[in-house]
Amino acid sequence: MKKENLYEVANATFTPTSAIRKATASNFIVTEHNGQWYALALLRAPDKSPEPNRWGLPGGGVEKNETLLEGAIRETAEEAGYRTDQPIIAPIALVPAPDKEKQYLYTMTYTDKPFVPDLEGDAGHEHQDYKWVRLSQWPKPAHARVKALIESVGVAELEKTARELKARAQDLNLEPNFFVSEESDLDFDVALER
């Protein structure tokens, strides 16, 4: 799907139809460090399905009368504690589920600095751990849909989108600051050694 059409779909309000009964939005949160692009990977809790104990993204079901982008922003806030009043976000792929009654929107959000996600603040306790990782080095075991998306879109294209989001933030003179736990002053080099 062309980028312009993807924006149109992502900004449309989700109203379930007989064909599409559910939409899910998942979000790559990316930041640049020493010229390299990193994304926040979340380890699914052992008692949560689908795919427990696998590395994925913040995401979940889009609510009725919510746009797909709004769903991605809300789920990112709920599952990673990333809340901002100036989201720098773009849709990157819309993927139909094999049963065709569900669709998955994948988005990307740029943040100017890494942070410690508030996993305890997620009422559903859906994730047990986190890592900031290079897109080309997604941790294993990977969530199957995230792995498939990275492979199909390609790391180069994902990093291109990340650069575009950073440029948009700079052009608009925005500082996409976030509101998370007091631990938000993350020493990124130390975090990468986790």
CATH number of the CATH domain containing 71: 3.90.79.10
Q: What are the pLDDT digits (tens) for 44-75?
A: 999 998 899 999 999 999 998 899 999 999 99
Residue of 144 and 4 predicted with greater confidence: 144
Burial of 32 (0-12, 13-18, 19+ CB in 10 A): middle
Indicate the number of domains in the chain: 1
| pLDDT grade for 183, boundaries at 50, 70 and 90 | very low
Q: What is the mean pLDDT of the chain?
A: 87
- Comparing CA positions, the residue from 71, 8, 55 lying closest to residue 150 is 55
Residues of the domain holding 127: 3-192
Say whether pTM exceeds 0.85: yes
CA 183 – CA 130 distance, rounded (Å) = 14
* Number of CB atoms found within 10 A of residue 116's CB: 17
